[in-house]
């Protein structure tokens, strides 16, 4: 099968398209024929061995010390069931499914073997592209907005509103009846307004750290706020969440600033796809072929990716 392989850590150009063996599903795994997969900031971090401060050694232990232990990246898949392990219930060959593979990755290929518990059925009204596009940023946005009191009468600042987490966070916060201020560059202001943002701060002309405005929830997806600068943007009862926090920011407990890793839960995948199906969530995405995956990594590394990149191996 064709796959995008990352034999060594390095720049986007280390990614190679190769023919490799098709995986065999283990007893509790499902073999999925990949129709669509996401190329994410997570993939680019692993490829470049570029982890948040303090996470370098831990991440290399998880992903491979000298080179990627699992050279086919990709943590999100939407596709059809091609074969089942002996102990799998609830899925049949031909079913349309979507899910996330955690640290096992492997979706940037024509087939991936994935534990059944990491998959859910894809509603027929949601396209494979939308399913693959929504799960990474959507799972993180759901988790972080649920971890704070986002709801009616709350004001939410989404820093990095045009990215994978950001485009979902703007829409989910609006769905929860919050008033949303989106931080993005001017070129993405129309997009985030279209997604529902009530107000836009163009960070290229306004210094976010110097604004006098205060919010009940601050969600930072960029990583340019630290606990002190995030707390300065909060109302007296507000809480900030740092999605790209350092190890120290993750382990030192603070009353008003949270961090952490978003879980990958099949029930969240189903919920996100139901929000896509009923029109609550619009998946902002570009679709590419496997041969364009090096460019996708370049775009992510530039920091300018808008929404999600969906690859069709
Ligand atoms: N903790 C977790 O569980 C978890 C889960 C998922 C992701 N993450 C992390 O969260 C971070 C964001 O992920 P992502 O996939 O959403 O990123 P992404 O899609 O790559 O974000 C790209 C966007 O960031 C915007 N941006 C860049 N600099 C900005 C700035 N100074 N102010 C405001 N916006 C800016 C860009 O908009 P402009 O072009 O307009 O600047 C671009 O649209 C990554 O570090 C990722 O590793 C953490």
> What is the tens place of the pLDDT at every residue in 53-84?
999 999 999 999 999 999 999 999 999 999 99
Flag whether pLDDT at 123 surpasses 90.
yes
Ligand 1 close to Cβ of residue 143 (< 6 A): no
pLDDT at 253: 86
**Burial degree of 288 (CB within 10 A; 0-12, 13-18, 19+):** middle
| Close Cβ partners of 124 (under 8 Å, ≥ 6 residues apart) | 96
Ligand 1 close to Cβ of residue 137 (< 6 A): yes
Q: Whose CA is nearest to atom 34 of ligand 1?
A: 160
Measured at the CA of 269, the angle between CA 165 and CA 200, to 5 degrees, comes to 25
Flag whether pLDDT at 149 surpasses 90.
no
The 3-state secondary structure of 142-207 reads HHHHHCCCCCCCCEEEEECCCCHHHHHHHHHHHHCCCEEEEEECHHHHHHHHHCCCCEEEECCCCC
Domains along the chain? 2-122+283-312 (3.90.180.10), 136-258 (3.40.50.720)
- Which strands form 234-242's sheet, in the order they lie side by side? 199-202, 179-184, 155-159, 215-220, 234-242, 257-258
What band does 290 get if pLDDT is binned at 50, 70 and 90?
A: very high
Ligand 1 close to Cβ of residue 36 (< 6 A): no
Residue-averaged pLDDT of the chain: 97
Which of the listed residues 44, 146, 184 should we mutate to test ligand 1's pocket, taking the one with most ligand atoms within 8 A of CB? 184
Shortest-distance atom of ligand 1 to CA 162? 43
Tokens of 223: 């990583």
Ligand 1 close to Cβ of residue 185 (< 6 A): yes
Tokens of 242: 């740092």
Which of the listed residues 183, 303, 306 should we mutate to test ligand 1's pocket, taking the one with most ligand atoms within 8 A of CB? 303
Ligand 1 close to Cβ of residue 243 (< 6 A): yes
Flag whether pLDDT at 12 surpasses 90.
yes
Average pLDDT value for residue range 23-29: 98
Ligand 1 centroid–CA 165 distance in Å is: 7
Q: What is the pLDDT of residues 169-222, one digit of tens each?
A: 999 999 999 999 999 999 999 999 999 999 999 999 999 988 999 999 999 999
pLDDT at 35: 98
Q: Whose CA is nearest to atom 27 of ligand 1?
A: 303
pLDDT at 189: 98
> Which pTM does this prediction carry?
0.97
Ligand 1 close to Cβ of residue 246 (< 6 A): no
Flag whether pLDDT at 114 surpasses 90.
yes
**Helix (H), strand (E) at residue 215:** strand 215-220
pLDDT at 66: 95
Ligand 1 close to Cβ of residue 241 (< 6 A): no
pLDDT at 1: 98
- For residues 206-237, one letter each, b for 16 or more C-beta atoms within 10 angstroms of the residue's C-beta and e for the rest, the string is eebeeeeeebbbbbbbbbebbbeebbbbbeee
Select from 59, 133, 63 the least CA-distant residue to 100.
133
Shortest-distance atom of ligand 1 to CA 161? 34
Ligand 1 close to Cβ of residue 224 (< 6 A): yes
Ligand 1 close to Cβ of residue 190 (< 6 A): no
pLDDT at 110: 98
Measured at the CA of 288, the angle between CA 4 and CA 145, to 5 degrees, comes to 95
pLDDT at 279: 97
Q: Whose CA is nearest to atom 35 of ligand 1?
A: 160
Measured at the CA of 187, the angle between CA 138 and CA 139, to 5 degrees, comes to 5
pLDDT at 209: 84
**Burial degree of 2 (CB within 10 A; 0-12, 13-18, 19+):** middle
């Amino acid at each position: 099968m064709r796959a995008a392989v990352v034999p060594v850590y390095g720049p986007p150009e280390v990614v190679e398209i190769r023919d490799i063996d098709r995986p065999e599903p283990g007893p509790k795994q499902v073999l999925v024929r990949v129709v669509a997969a996401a190329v994410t900031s997570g993939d680019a971090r692993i490829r470049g061995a570029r982890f948040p401060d303090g996470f370098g050694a831990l991440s290399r232990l998880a992903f491979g010390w000298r080179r990627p232990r699992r050279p086919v990246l990709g943590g999100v898949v939407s596709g059809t069931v091609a074969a089942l392990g002996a102990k799998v219930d609830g899925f049949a060959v031909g079913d349309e499914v979507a899910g996330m593979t955690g640290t096992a990755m492997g979706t940037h290929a024509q087939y991936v073997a994935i534990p059944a518990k990491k998959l859910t059925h894809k509603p027929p009204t949601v396209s494979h592209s939308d399913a693959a596009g929504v799960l990474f940023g959507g799972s993180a946005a759901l988790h972080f907005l649920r971890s704070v009191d986002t709801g009616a009468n709350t004001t939410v600042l989404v820093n990095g509103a045009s990215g994978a987490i950001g485009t979902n966070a703007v829409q989910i916060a609006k769905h929860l009846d919050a008033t949303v201020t989106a931080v993005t560059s001017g070129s993405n202001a129309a997009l985030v307004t279209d997604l529902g943002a009530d107000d836009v701060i163009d960070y290229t002309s306004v210094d976010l750290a110097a604004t006098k405005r205060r919010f009940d929830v601050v969600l930072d997806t960029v990583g340019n706020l630290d606990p002190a600068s995030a707390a300065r943007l909060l109302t007296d009862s507000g809480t900030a969440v740092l999605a790209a926090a350092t190890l120290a920011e993750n382990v030192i407990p603070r009353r008003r600033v949270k961090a952490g890793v978003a879980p990958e839960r099949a029930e969240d995948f189903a919920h996100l796809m139901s929000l896509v199906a009923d029109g609550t969530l619009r998946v902002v995405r570009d679709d590419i072929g496997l041969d364009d995956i090096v460019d996708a990594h370049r775009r992510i590394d530039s920091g300018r990716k808008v929404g999600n990149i969906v690859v069709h191996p």
